[in-house]
Amino acid sequence: MCVSLAPPQSEACRWARSLWSGEVSSFMDAAPAPVLVDALFGTGLARPLDGTTASHLGRLAAGASVSVAVDLPSGVATDDGSILSPVPDYHLTVTFGALKSAHLLQPAARHMGRVVIADIGVEAQSALRTIGRPSLPAPGADDHKYSRGYVAVIGGEMAGAGRLAAAAALRAGAGYVRLISEDPVANLPHAIVQGSGALSRLQDERVGSVVAGPGLGRNAEAERSLQHALEGGAPLVLDADALFLLAGDLERLHDLGHVPILTPHAGEFERLFPKLGGSKVERARQAAVEARAVILFKGSDTIIAAPDGRAAIAFPASPYLASAGTGDVLAGIVGAMRARGLEAFEAACAGVWLHGRAADMLGPGLIADDLFGVLPAALAECR
């Protein structure tokens, strides 16, 4: 069954419709001949094109100055974004009513070019939506450092990863950040509180979230730290080494009293959930039920899924985020969103949007440390 990506009132859809009403028509008027319009199959295709048809399509696309796909490029599977037969790269894809999964899921998404939506008067409803800019009001007159969010980051073997997560949480708006580490971590913002032997502080009722995993390690000490986090009672954001330690033992998450957020990349996801099949969206949803957690399944087509069946997909992220440490930064941002009071699913969505927006602002050559400097500007767009 085709799952369409609603809501039509989302920021992405409003942007796409404005393009359809003006920019696309002018784009087509200015397009030099020849123009290829692929309207062979589109939505619902579940089988590959025959070899002759696929060959002709590729030849025509290669010879066109402008290539346009109607709804979806022929050869793309609608529901999971897989490639059923060779698919050319298109300049433009025009779809109708709402986005479909394949418009944003890899590997199909890389062939779409610019995607726009033609409004045909159909109000599409779906439990799957796109991630748009969150609403994050500025602090009020009565706010203080704890009401803005207290984030505790558990450090470990790799001090730099904990530093990245803690600094990201602070720059993402947390009012108080504590980095728990046995050894002092250099080059931290002075506003971040450091200290060893502070795992007992995780039970402080003021703690709004605990970020565990970045640089934690995989030894016995790391396991003890993770257990402290699980027993502390605060909402959890679990990344990297914490996910390694949880593999095969997800029952530890089932009685926490809150919904944790897990942030695996593809390799970590496979280790945690080795038996799940289907599209990336389907696997994320199944994983959320199995772990009783919000799953932030990272990648160029990031998926966020909740145990109640909700799922959201991010527009393709900057490829420059494929760099060491950017996942640690994301964990810290999500921790700040959770600590400010957002529910787990909303906190994960907001964190992904801010992370992606910061990367877009930086562009080529970014490194994880650069993201801190532009997070305030990304936050300012959310007020």
Domain covering 4-126, topology: Rossmann fold (3.40.50)
The rounded distance, in Å, linking the Cα atoms of 335 and 337 is 5
* Mean pLDDT estimate for the chain: 87
Task: Supply the pLDDT for residue 240.
Answer: 96
The rounded distance, in Å, linking the Cα atoms of 153 and 214 is 9
Task: Supply the pLDDT for residue 283.
Answer: 96
> 93-106 pLDDT, tens per residue?
998 877 888 888 88
CB of 189 closer than 8 Å to CB of 176: no
Task: Supply the pLDDT for residue 99.
Answer: 81
Task: Supply the pLDDT for residue 361.
Answer: 96
Task: Supply the pLDDT for residue 32.
Answer: 60
Q: Check pLDDT > 50 for residue 2.
A: no
**Sequence ranges of the domains in the chain:** 4-126, 150-380
> 255-267 pLDDT, tens per residue?
999 999 999 999 9
More confident residue, 40 or 122: 40
**What is the CB neighbour count within 10 angstroms for residue 19?**
20
Interval 39-53 mean pLDDT: 83
Cβ neighbors of 92 (< 8 A, separation 6 or more) are 24, 27, 66, 67, 68, 69, 113, 114, 115, 116
Looking at the chain, the number of H-run helices and the number of E-run strands are 11, 16
Residue 364 preceded by cis peptide, ω within 30: no
> 282-316 pLDDT, tens per residue?
999 999 999 999 999 999 899 999 999 999 999 88
CB of 99 closer than 8 Å to CB of 346: no
Identify the CATH homologous superfamily for domain 150-380: Ribokinase (3.40.1190.20)
End-to-end CA distance of the chain: 38
